Amino acid sequence: MTTMPVGATDVMTTDTLTPQPQAELIGDLPWIEDAGKVAPKDARALSQLFFDQLQVLEEGTHEYQYARNTLIEMNLSLVRFAAGRFRNRGGGDMEDIVQVGTIGLIKAIDRFDLSREVGFATFAVPYIVGEIKRFFRDTSWAVHVPRRLQELRVDLAKAKEELSLRLDRDPTVKELAEHLSLSEEEIIEGLVASNGYTAGSLDAPGDGGEGSDANGRTFADRLGEPDPAMESVEDLHTLAPLLEELDDRDRRIIEMRFGQEMTQSQIGEELGVSQMQVSRLLSRVLKRLRTKMLVED
């Protein structure tokens, strides 16, 4: 049963709000078995008591940690309330949003001052909402862009909406720049960065516009594939000057083996040497070329 002290020995339950003697205490605070189940109305009254004690308890003590942790658990309903506003927003499931909002709640608890003429709930909600908004701002972008460009996107959206209503058309870059007191280059940078907020799926079908695939193929179906010959071209460009460095016999052996596709026996007959000698010569030359190509890379 959830209790709070009334005087020295009596406490009142959060369920019945009637005095109960001999309650278990942690210092001057009641022991609350499951603070997360305290009703919001009772949590407000209990929070006042716990904040009173939190200000006089020594940080790091068992009693201080109990008071702080209980305040967090009792006020999680504020986090769930604030998180509900973001239920249908993409970028994270409710569990992630509640966890982020709890960080805001903890910050509010650590910064709350009883001398303020404001209730804790009124003080805490902006912290919670601010933390959740920061979470969406930092994680919702499909492409990471600097913070200033993320903030500029919001300003641009508001400016475009306001100017569109006033002008009855889409505003130009120059008009946006004048409205936000920024340069046209900054506006263009912000508009380009805004394209990174969302990303289309490669599995999505074509939009049906001019030049789109009539068979409804996806964007991925129409993407090109890497040309395997490109790597060979790069290797040949690297190899060409290295071949020029070989002496005439080594270069001739390479030409006969890989250009004319002659066997080692045929090369041996052409040069008047054994197949074994041809094999050794090829191995030496190829090793030299491979080593130099790795150095060039």
The number of CA neighbours under 13 Å toward the Cβ of 219 is 7
By residue range, what is the domain housing residue 262? 229-296
Q: Give a yes or no: residue 26 inside a domain.
A: yes
pLDDT of residue 17: 36
**pLDDT digit string, tens, across residues 123-135:** 899 999 988 888 8
Q: Give the chain's domain count.
A: 4
Measured in degrees and rounded to the nearest 5, phi and psi for residue 61 equal -80, 165
User: Does residue 295 surpass a pLDDT of 50?
Assistant: yes
* Whether residue 271 sits in one domain with residue 247: yes
Please state the separation of Cα 75 from the chain's center in Å.
28
Domain membership of residue 224 (yes or no) is no
Three-class secondary structure of residue 217 per DSSP: coil
Relative to beta strand 19-20, strand 25-26 is unpaired
Task: Kindly report, residue by residue over 126-167, the tens digit of the pLDDT.
Answer: 999 988 888 876 665 555 667 777 778 778 888 988 999 988
pLDDT by residue (tens digit) across 38-82? 887 788 888 888 888 888 888 888 888 998 899 999 999 899 888
The bridge status of strand 19-20 relative to strand 10-13 is antiparallel
**Does the pLDDT at position 234 exceed 80?**
no
Q: Which of 140, 161, 183 is the last residue of a domain?
A: 140
The mean pLDDT of 83-108, rounded to a whole number, is 81
Cβ contacts of residue 89 below 8 Å, gap of 6+?
136
